[in-house]
Structures are given as structure tokens and as C-alpha cells.
Amino acid sequence: MPNSFEDGTITGKNLATGMADLFIQLNVKHSSATGDYRDEGLAGRDRLLGDLRSTNLVAVPKDCIQQWSDSSINLRFTRDFWPSILGRVKSEAENRKIAPLNESEIEVCYQIKELGEPPTEEVCPK
């Protein structure tokens, strides 16, 4: 599992290899989930990009996926990918009139969605 905001490899079993998409879900780390960022807070732990679930699942662009097999997904993000995502988090916090999070307070989790199926459970760094 890649560290948050880094290139790396997701490993596992039965990772979809057909018509599937990879999504990122940003969450507030448990240790930082206080105030507006606790589960009951204004933003919550998993609504950093808006209040709708679909706005918080960010599709990983195909050009960032270097290799995808049944047991691993190798990721290499473009230079502007993470700054763009973090800019959206900051902008949403400003719109809500709450303090933005530091990068170190956010964890990056991944989900796979196969065509016609619900997304898999989130896989997050340990």
C-alpha cells in the first residue's frame, strides 16, 4: 500500500482486472478527527471534498496507473495530481468557513469499482 500522497503499489488478491476503475477517498486520520472533522462535525472524517459521497470519490486517471494485475496495482501520479486534490480540500474548507487540514492529517484510501458493481471496501495505509 502506498503511503498517502506517494507513488507505490497496492497489493492484494482478486483485484479487478477487467472493466474497473480505481478511486481515491480522502479521510481525516483518526488522531486528527476533532472539532469540525470528527464524524459528527461540519465536514466529518470522510467529506473533505463536499457533502455528497460521489464528490468524495476521486477517479485515479488511467495515465497514473502504470500496471494493473489480479494481485497488484502500480501507481505513479502526475506532478500536479496531489496539489490539485489538496487544493480542492482547502477550497472546500474555506467554503465551509472552517480551518483547512494539513496534509499530515489526511489519509488516502483506495476503492475499486467494477462495471455494474458497488465499490469495494476502502483500503487504507496502516
Domain boundaries, the chain: 8-114
Separation CA 96–CA 114 (nearest Å): 33
User: Which whole-number Å values give the CA distances from 42 to 13, 33, 46, 98, in the listed order?
Assistant: 36, 11, 11, 8
SS3 call for 37: helix
Separation CA 30–CA 28 (nearest Å): 6
Per-residue pLDDT of the chain (126 residues; tens, 9 = 90+): 788 999 999 998 888 766 789 999 999 999 999 999 998 888 889 999 988 777 889 999 999 999 999 899 999 999 999 999 999 999 999 999 999 999 999 999 999 998 888 888 888 876
Q: Which residues contact 7 (CB under 8 A, 6 or more apart)?
A: 75, 76, 77
